Amino acid sequence: QKEVEQDPGPLSVPEGAIVSLNCTYSNSAFQYFMWYRQYSRKGPELLMYTYSSGNKEDGRFTAQVDKSSKYISLFIRDSQPSDSATYLCAMSYDRGSTLGRLYFGRGTQLTVWP
């Protein structure tokens, strides 16, 4: 079983739609959860960062973590064509060392059409 599972899509929605992106994971030790956005021909850029469970909101973006279900989500409200990108979930856990290892999902390709 992979550490992090993410449906690669593609996902295509009209402008203004609410988008829901999700990842599941198997390692209950994960504590840090991130969403990266990657535009075509660019490197990933950090979008949201959450520690442990709960919700975090930043503008049109909301990240949710449900550790009991080992499930994380990213919601995009009022989606825009500029949101078209690949969204990668990533997570890490405290290994009691200084080595930061991120575990990534495969990424979900999102297209928002006008």
Interacting residues toward other proteins by CB under 8 A: 2, 4, 6, 8, 31-32, 34, 36, 41-46, 49, 51, 88, 90, 92-95, 98-107
Nearer to other proteins by C-beta: 68 or 98? Answer: 98
When the beta carbons of 18 and 46 are compared against other proteins, the nearer one is 46
Burial of 33 per CB tally in 10 Å (0-12, 13-18, 19+): buried
What whole-number distance in Å separates Cα of residue 25 and Cα of residue 103? 10
> Among residues 74, 101, 70, which one has the least CA distance to residue 86?
74
The least CB distance from residue 72 to other proteins, in Å, is: 15
Specify the residue, 27 or 77, whose C-beta has the smaller distance to other proteins.
27
Q: Which amino acid is at 9?
A: G
